[in-house]
Amino acid sequence: MPSSRRSSRRPYSEEYRPLDMDRATGGRRTEERRGEEWTVQSVRAGDKAYRCPGCNQEIAAGTPHVVAWANDSLFGAQAALADRRHWHSRCWGTP
């Protein structure tokens, strides 16, 4: 039997909202740092620990942080993406 309760996700009278790609991709953005353009993405948490290149301390599993990679690489975009690094948000400079 169908439920008599209406969905609270989007009321019938509300207009359709297109998908916000910035929010869907975790807030991926481009920043300039030391004369280079970097792609930076926020990560809510991960299943494994990483070493922050800013402070050389461990980013514990389950800790929110950022992932950054240079937009330009001598060996191409795929090599730049493969060289991405996980940073503490405070070490990267993100509040």
Compute the average pLDDT of residues 66-77: 84
- The pLDDT, as a whole number, for residue 7 is 59
Q: What is the DSSP string of 19-83?
A: --HHHHTTS-EEEEETTEEEEEEEES--SS-EE-TTT--EE-TT--EEEEEES--TT-HHHHHHT
Q: Express as a percent the part of the chain with pLDDT over 90.
A: 33
Q: Is the pLDDT higher at 85 or at 80?
A: 85
The predicted-structure confidence for 29-42, as pLDDT tens digits, reads as follows: 889 988 889 999 98
Q: Which CA distances in Å does 2 have to 9, 10, 95?
A: 17, 18, 46
Average pLDDT, the chain: 82
Q: Which residues have a Cβ under 8 Å from the Cβ of 16 and sit 6 or more positions away?
A: 10
